[in-house]
Amino acid sequence: MIRASDLSKVYRLYAQPHHRFLDMLGLLRDRPGAFTTHTALDQVNLEIRRGERVALIGRNGAGKSTFLKLATQVTRPTSGRIEVNGRAHALLEIGTGFHPDLTGRQNVVSHLAHLGLRRIEIERRLAEIVAFAELEEYIDQPLKTYSTGMGVRLMFATSTSLSPEVLVLDEVLGVGDAYFAHKSYERIREMCSSEGTTVLLVSHNVYAASRICERMVWLEAGTVVLDGPAGTVIEAYEDSIRQQEERRLRVRNEQRLAEITRDVPRGRLRIEFHARNNEPPPGPVAFASVRLMRQQDRVAELPLLEERFETMSDSHLEREGSNWGPVMEWQGRLGRAMQPFGSPFHKVAGVLSAEGELTAATLGEFDVEVEYGSDAPCDLVARVFRGNEEILLGALPPSSGGWARHRFSLDVPAPEAGPRVRGSELNRSGAFGTGAVRIEDVRLCNASGQELSWVEHGDAVQLVATYRVVDPSLDEAAQVLVAIHRDGVHDVCRFFARSVPLSARTRRRGMLRLDVPRLPLVEGSYTLTLMIARARYYDEDQPVFYSLNPNVLACLPRVLEFKVDRARPWERGTITAFEARCELHDVAGSESLTAQRPASETRQG
């Protein structure tokens, strides 16, 4: 239905209002200083088939609404092509096509007449629209007297009354109450299943969008970051919130250092060693030295054996957002440990400060030399930052149980660095938390302990997870949450346990077993998320998102898949179903039926 080929859209941002007018007349041309350009979409290639429900997600300015405007021919592409094979109907902004001074009825009639419907057809559809929007009492009042939610209900009902071949919605379902949102979701599903309508939806609420759309396209800075099933994209998008917080901390530290050293001509490189996919390393990693080298000359070095954290204008270590541990002795040498726990950001970082400027022209003359070691193989990646420029150096080779030395060139990124997405890797492992507790295995079992991949409604099941306490200081009455997602997306059921004693002193390794006497889920496909958090985590509102919350000890989203089979008639059409015990009692002060009958007619039953 929709095919975008190398689609790009570039906007001009004018320095003065009259420059826009001159450009409309073709008189501005390329006058210096009159405008700058903003690339809203950059070489986008995308195909959407008939009947698909596709959500475009991403931050503000990612290019989502621009794509919708191109798809509905509100604007034209700068380069590339977009083809729409069908009649599209768009609700791009609240209020589009509706006049505030007209009544709700007049707006609907005017809107449908504009689309070419005859009077008889308009009258028939008008009744359906009013009934769906539930605005019978207000339909003859001016639209400007409606609340925002009432206006959205009327506009959505009108837009979906024609069953277009392509329905385009931009952030309109986020306004209104939950009851009408549910009705809207069901209306869209019905249009797609029975009439083959293709839905293209833009939303910042990825969880609400997943209720409608089985496919998501994640846009960032005008390019497609990820295109796939909703559950897969949501996992990567959740981790991107952690990456955004990393960038924010990095920019803040860079600004602080620039303020401190503004009168001192020094060159600075920020260096990070981060765990691939943000998965904690299996054990501590010792760093004996991290040096900036120019051939055989040492230009700068991280003070690994000193307590210089974020307070000096010269070379120093960064504590915030890092997992630096204490100075340790390993294999006969002193070094500073990268701990496998402590922060949601599984990395260590520091600033190398050299005399003189480090320019792009001279950067290739330098190398970064690292001495490191660990008991178990670790998967760490190195990268450096010079201002806003990022250079992905590549992976640290395995240390093989002894000290190793490796040298990275700053001239060209190493081949093993691989492709980059805005300088960062997508985390598709689905592992979050500080790493203080490591979940090693998760299984769904029956009452006898036999592992299951499918169950029946009402079965007794056990969730069994083996764990290891990594942080030797942990002594916590932890909270354990198990969340169930239908089709890998919709959070439909939760099981919760509080005050679970996790202590490195009493049990470093153990097994969690959560017993569910009767599984309430009905027929369908499900995934399971397991989270272990600090005491009172779920008793208080958490202002920090879970993927970067320091109170989350371990979390494995959608770690296990299973199916529920053989639904009985009374279980269908819902998500969870429970059996209840029902008893009959006499009403106080009334006589029972037995007392009203002659003794010869009394029966037992």
Dihedral, CA of residue 16, residue 18, residue 22 and residue 25, to nearest 10: 130
Dihedral, CA of residue 158, residue 160, residue 162 and residue 164, to nearest 10: 140
**End position of a domain, from candidates 202, 225, 248:** 225
Residues 394 and 519 both lie in one domain: no
Tell me the percentage of the chain whose pLDDT exceeds 90: 30
- For residue 462 the two structure tokens come to 């056990």
Say if residues 288 and 394 touch (Cβ distance below 8 Å). no
Between CA 524 and CA 531, with CA 529 as vertex, the angle to 5 degrees is 155
Angle between the N-to-C axes of helices 104-114 and 148-159, in degrees from 0 to 180, rounded to the nearest 10 = 30
Domain assignment present for 235: no
Residues 466 and 529 both lie in one domain: yes
Residues 198 and 301 both lie in one domain: no
Number of domains in the chain: 3
Residue whose structure tokens are 């906007």: 11
CATH number for the domain including 517? 2.70.50.60
Q: What is the per-residue pLDDT across 48-80, written as a single tens digit (0 to 9) for each? A: 998 889 999 888 888 888 998 888 888 899 999
Residues 307 and 217 both lie in one domain: no
pLDDT at 481: 94
Angle between the N-to-C axes of helices 104-114 and 119-133, in degrees from 0 to 180, rounded to the nearest 10 = 130
pLDDT band at 420 (very low <50, low <70, confident <90, very high): very low
Q: What is the per-residue pLDDT across 437-482, written as a single tens digit (0 to 9) for each? A: 999 999 999 988 899 888 988 889 999 999 999 999 999 999 999 9
pLDDT at 416: 40
More confident residue, 136 or 160: 136
Angle between the N-to-C axes of helices 178-195 and 148-159, in degrees from 0 to 180, rounded to the nearest 10 = 10
Q: Which domain holds residue 68?
A: 2-225
pLDDT at 418 over 90: no
The per-residue pLDDT of the chain, averaged, comes to 83
Cα–Cα distance measured from residue 348 to residue 396, given in angstroms and rounded to the nearest whole number: 14
pLDDT band at 186 (very low <50, low <70, confident <90, very high): confident
pLDDT band at 604 (very low <50, low <70, confident <90, very high): very low
Residues 141 and 20 both lie in one domain: yes
More confident residue, 137 or 183: 137
Cα–Cα distance measured from residue 22 to residue 96, given in angstroms and rounded to the nearest whole number: 28
Cα–Cα distance measured from residue 529 to residue 555, given in angstroms and rounded to the nearest whole number: 7
List strands edge to edge, sheet with 524-533. Answer: 454-456, 552-565, 524-533, 475-486, 490-503
Domain assignment present for 109: yes
What is the mean predicted confidence (pLDDT) over 393-405? 87
Domain assignment present for 244: no
Say if residues 433 and 552 touch (Cβ distance below 8 Å). yes
Domain assignment present for 585: no
pLDDT at 172: 64
pLDDT at 600 over 70: no
Domain assignment present for 362: yes
Cα–Cα distance measured from residue 148 to residue 175, given in angstroms and rounded to the nearest whole number: 7
Say if residues 53 and 188 touch (Cβ distance below 8 Å). yes
Residues 311 and 202 both lie in one domain: no
pLDDT at 175 over 60: no
Residues 133 and 173 both lie in one domain: yes
pLDDT at 602 over 80: no
pLDDT at 161: 81
Residues 386 and 465 both lie in one domain: no
For residue 289, count other CB atoms closer than 10 A to its CB. 17
Size of the chain in residues: 605
pLDDT at 97: 74
Residues 160 and 265 both lie in one domain: no
pLDDT at 605 over 50: no
Cα–Cα distance measured from residue 487 to residue 524, given in angstroms and rounded to the nearest whole number: 8
Tell me the percentage of the chain whose pLDDT exceeds 70: 89
Q: Which residues of 451-464 are buried (b: 16+ CB within 10 A; e: fewer)?
A: eeeebebbbebbbb
Q: What is the per-residue pLDDT across 239-255, written as a single tens digit (0 to 9) for each? A: 777 777 777 777 777 77
Q: Roughly how many angstroms between the first and final C-alpha of the chain, as a whole number?
A: 64
What phi and psi values does residue 353 have, to the nearest 5 degrees? -115, 120
pLDDT band at 187 (very low <50, low <70, confident <90, very high): confident
**End position of a domain, from candidates 417, 446, 476:** 417
pLDDT at 60: 82
Cα–Cα distance measured from residue 19 to residue 14, given in angstroms and rounded to the nearest whole number: 6
For residue 471, count other CB atoms closer than 10 A to its CB. 19
Cα–Cα distance measured from residue 530 to residue 562, given in angstroms and rounded to the nearest whole number: 14
CATH number for the domain including 86? 3.40.50.300
Say if residues 431 and 278 touch (Cβ distance below 8 Å). yes
Angle between the N-to-C axes of helices 148-159 and 119-133, in degrees from 0 to 180, rounded to the nearest 10 = 140
Q: What is the per-residue pLDDT across 320-360, written as a single tens digit (0 to 9) for each? A: 888 999 999 999 999 999 999 998 889 999 999 887 667 77
How much is the pTM?
0.70
Residues 338 and 467 both lie in one domain: no
Give the DSSP per-residue string, 99-114: -TTSBHHHHHHHHHHH
Residues 65 and 141 both lie in one domain: yes
Residues 93 and 32 both lie in one domain: yes
Q: Lowest-confidence range among 107-116, 188-197, 226-235, 528-537?
A: 188-197
pLDDT band at 261 (very low <50, low <70, confident <90, very high): low
Domain assignment present for 352: yes
Percentages of the chain per state (helix, strand, coil), in multiples of 5: 20, 40, 40
Domain assignment present for 237: no
What phi and psi values does residue 142 have, to the nearest 5 degrees? -60, 145
- For residue 83 the two structure tokens come to 């083809």
